[in-house]
């Protein structure tokens, strides 16, 4: 899928994608500046989309690091499978609330998400966040990109500390929330 087909898929599914464009490189860099991926064993990404964050992660990890990418849109999954043929990258066409089913008892060092929480039903949001919390190792971090500061209240229900940064270098400008 080319960039224009990916954007068309994004616009055609606004109720589940929740975005008018994909994350900018500057936003991806900002998000990943909060994570030391070099020593990570297992990383989970939620909402792979066009693979913009996935690419940033892949650029920073070694072949020994496993990356699981959850994405509910089949077309995005097919496109990412072509873009990321690496053995340590697994594209999973399933919803984020099922993370634990794929971890085989392992814990993740990071869960990195661009899920559109403002568009997800309350009971599913809570399910995703509680599954995320139990998927993380003791020192693990959940890092979320979002467009609304109000989402901090949702994350605080599940995590004891939530720190926030902001960038104008994205359309729309975005927050990065780091939760532990």
Ligand X SMILES: C[S@@+](CC[C@H](N)C(=O)[O-])C[C@H]1O[C@@H](n2cnc3c(N)ncnc32)[C@H](O)[C@@H]1O
* 164/172 Cα distance (integer angstroms): 16
User: Smallest distance from the beta carbon of 10 to ligand X, in angstroms?
Assistant: 7
How many other C-beta atoms lie within 10 A of the C-beta of residue 21? 13
Give the largest CA-CA distance in the chain. Answer: 41
- CA torsion through residues 107, 109, 115, 119, sign: positive
Among 174, 178, 173, which residue's Cα sits nearest to residue 146? 174
Task: Identify the three-state secondary structure at position 6.
Answer: helix
Instruction: Select the span of 36-44, 69-77, 162-170, 172-180 touching ligand X (CB under 6 A).
Output: 69-77
User: Smallest distance from the beta carbon of 147 to ligand X, in angstroms?
Assistant: 9
Indicate which single residue of 43, 71, 99, 141 sits in contact with ligand X (rule: CB under 6 A).
Answer: 71
Indicate which single residue of 1, 52, 126, 137 sits in contact with ligand X (rule: CB under 6 A).
Answer: 52
Indicate which single residue of 19, 44, 112, 178 sits in contact with ligand X (rule: CB under 6 A).
Answer: 19
Nearer to ligand X, 47 or 140 (CB): 47
Residues 82-111 that bind ligand X (CB under 6 A): 95-96
Does 56 participate in binding ligand X (rule CB under 6 A)?
no
* 24/48 Cα distance (integer angstroms): 14
- Whether 36 and 29 have beta carbons less than 8 Å apart is answered as no
Closest-CB residue for ligand X?
49
User: What's the full length of the chain, in residues?
Assistant: 180
Does 46 participate in binding ligand X (rule CB under 6 A)?
yes
- Whether 174 and 146 have beta carbons less than 8 Å apart is answered as yes
Nearer to ligand X, 114 or 132 (CB): 114
Nearer to ligand X, 71 or 109 (CB): 71
Binding site for ligand X (CB under 6 A): 16-19, 22-23, 46-50, 52-53, 70-73, 76, 95-96, 114-116
């Amino acid at each position: 899928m080319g960039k224009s087909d990916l954007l068309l898929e994004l616009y055609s599914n606004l109720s589940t994608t929740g975005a008018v464009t994909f994350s900018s490189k500057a936003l991806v860099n900002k998000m990943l500046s909060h994570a030391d991926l070099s020593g990570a064993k297992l990383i989970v990404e939620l909402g792979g989309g066009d693979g913009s964050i996935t690419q940033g992660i892949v650029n920073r990890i070694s072949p020994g690091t496993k990356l699981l990418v959850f994405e509910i849109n089949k077309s995005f999954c097919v496109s990412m499978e072509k873009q990321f043929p690496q053995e340590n990258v697994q594209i999973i066409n399933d919803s984020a609330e099922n993370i634990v089913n794929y971890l085989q008892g392992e814990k993740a060092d990071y869960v990195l998400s661009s899920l559109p929480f403002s568009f997800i039903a309350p009971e599913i949001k809570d399910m995703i966040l509680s599954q995320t919390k139990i998927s993380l190792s003791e020192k693990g971090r959940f890092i979320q990109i979002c467009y609304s500061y109000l989402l901090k209240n949702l994350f605080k229900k599940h995590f004891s500390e939530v720190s926030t940064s902001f960038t104008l270098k994205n359309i729309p400008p975005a927050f990065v929330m780091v939760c532990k």
